[in-house]
């Protein structure tokens, strides 16, 4: 049951700290602060390329995974939505890695992508939440998210569990490929081990109240833009998808640097711009994109840590301060915040949060 929570989605949002902690306890050795290498039926060191395919939120988790595999393991990585990938039918290098991401393990297009990858001679690895699913059965290896049953149609804890698994996998790949030294691995595993506590801070009264205040602005809007860069660009996509799904407000996620190539024409004082702007190497670039939006009258709503929030206070119409973290884990923390934002907007709108119109939890037909 959903206990004292109003919706399964709310209950599942509050499970983030435990679910992420569970993934980490299976994948990280806290004593040596290193990722535990598990037996895989292929060699991470010699993979020529990884190809990621998935649908919906799972695809966005894959997009974050791509950034991590490229930056941490220097593994060339491609990612495409499964419904396009399966018919694009791209040639794949022999002995490459096919990586599928799915909560249910039953999504028809993702399963077809898996089979195509097998036909193309890929080693197939699936990140799935349901261990006895079709994808789990048909893969060469499985990384289980084990987030528990997710009842809300809008994915929450399964998504952050996917991110956490992919983060650990990227560390393992970096170690195997010699692109991640022990000191950096210790730093990044430490950053991951702090995430459950930081997730709990985001779910605290204080932060959810700040998110609730932002929700009041968003609930009034007809259109909302979400902006992010780098590993937080997919978080912008996830935030926009979640808002569309459960509040029925039109929202789009964009790479912040793309604004000036078109979307900025949409901006006026009626269009909130939700900025996923953690401190890190891309902060200054994001800040200047936000400046451009603010200069056109956009209401910029900043999600950042204390240092980033301070730098953006001159242009922010509202701010949600999230815990200070290593940029590596920022997409995980920011995801929790934007999912909570969508939930709070849906509450104000009075929509059917757990069973949004026109949507099914598992899309087993094409």
Q: Active-site residue numbers?
A: 361
C-beta neighbour count of 248 within 10 angstroms:
15
Taking CB under 6 A as the binding criterion, the range among 8-16, 103-111, 288-296, 346-354 that sits at the site for ligand M6R is 103-111
Contact between 110 and ligand M6R (CB under 6 A)? yes
Q: In terms of CB distance, is 104 or 122 closer to ligand M6R?
A: 104
- In the stretch 52-91, what mask flags binding to ligand M6R with x, by CB under 6 A? ---xxxx---------------------------------
Q: In terms of CB distance, is 184 or 244 closer to ligand M6R?
A: 244
Distance in angstroms (rounded) separating the CA atoms of residues 277 and 244: 21
The answer to whether the CB of 47 falls within 8 A of the CB of 76 is no
Q: In terms of CB distance, is 288 or 364 closer to ligand M6R?
A: 364
Phi, psi of 99 (to 5 degrees): -120, 115
Interacting positions 252-291 with ligand M6R (CB under 6 A): none
The residues with which 226 forms a beta bridge, in sequence order, are 253, 274
Q: In terms of CB distance, is 57 or 304 closer to ligand M6R?
A: 57
Q: How far is the CB of 315 from ligand M6R (least distance, A)?
A: 30
Task: Find the residue with minimal CB distance to ligand M6R.
Answer: 56
Q: How far is the CB of 252 from ligand M6R (least distance, A)?
A: 15
Distance in angstroms (rounded) separating the CA atoms of residues 239 and 34: 31
Instruction: Tell the residue number behind the tokens 């779910």, with chain if given.
Output: 203
Tell me the DSSP string of 158-203. Answer: HHHHHHHHHHHHHHHHHHHHT-S-HHHHHHHHHHHHTHHHHHHHHT
Q: How far is the CB of 279 from ligand M6R (least distance, A)?
A: 28
Sign of CA dihedral 117, 122, 126, 131: positive
Q: How far is the CB of 152 from ligand M6R (least distance, A)?
A: 8
> Residue count at the site for ligand M6R (CB under 6 A)?
16
The answer to whether the CB of 255 falls within 8 A of the CB of 229 is yes
Taking CB under 6 A as the binding criterion, the range among 101-109, 225-233, 314-322, 329-337 that sits at the site for ligand M6R is 101-109
Phi, psi of 310 (to 5 degrees): -60, -45
Per DSSP, the three-state class of 303 is strand
- In the stretch 139-168, what mask flags binding to ligand M6R with x, by CB under 6 A? --------------xxx-------------
Contact between 335 and ligand M6R (CB under 6 A)? no
Distance in angstroms (rounded) separating the CA atoms of residues 47 and 164: 22
Q: How far is the CB of 136 from ligand M6R (least distance, A)?
A: 12
Helix residue ranges, H only, 74-156: 82-88, 108-119, 134-138
Binder among 34, 103, 145, 208 for ligand M6R (CB under 6 A) = 103
Q: How far is the CB of 150 from ligand M6R (least distance, A)?
A: 9
Binder among 80, 185, 245, 354 for ligand M6R (CB under 6 A) = 245
Distance in angstroms (rounded) separating the CA atoms of residues 169 and 153: 27
Q: Which helix (H) or strand (E) holds 251?
A: strand 250-255
Q: How far is the CB of 283 from ligand M6R (least distance, A)?
A: 28
Contact between 102 and ligand M6R (CB under 6 A)? yes
Contact between 107 and ligand M6R (CB under 6 A)? yes
Structure tokens at 47: 């993979």
Contact between 112 and ligand M6R (CB under 6 A)? no
Tell me the DSSP string of 115-137. Answer: HHHHHTT-EEEEEES-TTSHHHH
The answer to whether the CB of 120 falls within 8 A of the CB of 92 is yes
Q: In terms of CB distance, is 82 or 333 closer to ligand M6R?
A: 82
Binding site for ligand M6R (CB under 6 A): 55-58, 102-104, 107, 110, 153-155, 245, 359, 362-363
């Amino acid at each position: 049951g959903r206990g004292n929570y109003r919706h399964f989605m709310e209950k599942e949002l509050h499970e983030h700290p435990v679910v992420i902690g569970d993934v980490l306890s299976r994948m990280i050795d806290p004593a040596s602060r290193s990722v535990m290498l598990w037996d895989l039926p292929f060699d991470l060191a010699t993979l020529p390329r990884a190809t990621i395919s998935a649908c919906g939120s799972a695809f966005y988790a894959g997009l974050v995974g791509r950034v991590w595999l490229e930056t941490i393991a220097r593994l060339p990585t491609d990612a495409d939505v499964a419904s396009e990938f399966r018919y694009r039918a791209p040639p794949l290098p022999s002995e490459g890695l096919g990586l599928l991401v799915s909560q249910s393990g039953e999504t028809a297009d993702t399963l077809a992508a898996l089979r195509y990858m097998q036909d193309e001679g890929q080693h197939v690895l699936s990140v799935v939440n349901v261990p006895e699913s079709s994808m789990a059965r048909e893969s060469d290896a499985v990384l289980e998210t084990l987030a528990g049953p997710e009842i809300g149609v809008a994915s929450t804890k399964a998504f952050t569990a996917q991110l956490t698994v992919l983060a650990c996998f990227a560390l393992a790949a970096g170690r195997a490929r010699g692109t991640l030294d022990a000191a950096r691995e210790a730093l990044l595993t430490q950053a991951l081990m702090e995430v459950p506590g930081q997730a709990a801070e985001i779910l605290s009264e204080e932060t959810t109240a700040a998110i609730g205040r932002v929700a009041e602005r968003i609930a009034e809007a007809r259109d909302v833009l979400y902006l992010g860069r780098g590993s937080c660009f997919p978080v912008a996509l996830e935030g926009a998808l979640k808002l569309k799904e459960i509040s029925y407000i039109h929202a789009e996620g964009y790479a912040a640097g793309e604004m000036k190539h078109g979307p900025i024409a949409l901006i006026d004082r009626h269009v909130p711009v939700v900025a996923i702007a953690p401190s890190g190497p891309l902060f200054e670039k994001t800040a200047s994109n936000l400046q451009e939006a603010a200069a056109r009258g956009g209401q910029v709503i900043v999600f950042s840590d204390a240092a980033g929030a301070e730098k953006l206070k001159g242009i922010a119409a509202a701010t949600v301060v999230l815990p200070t973290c290593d940029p590596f884990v920022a997409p995980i923390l920011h995801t929790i915040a934007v999912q909570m934002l969508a939930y709070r907007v849906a509450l104000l709108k009075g929509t059917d949060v757990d069973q949004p119109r026109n949507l099914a939890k598992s899309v087993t037909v094409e």
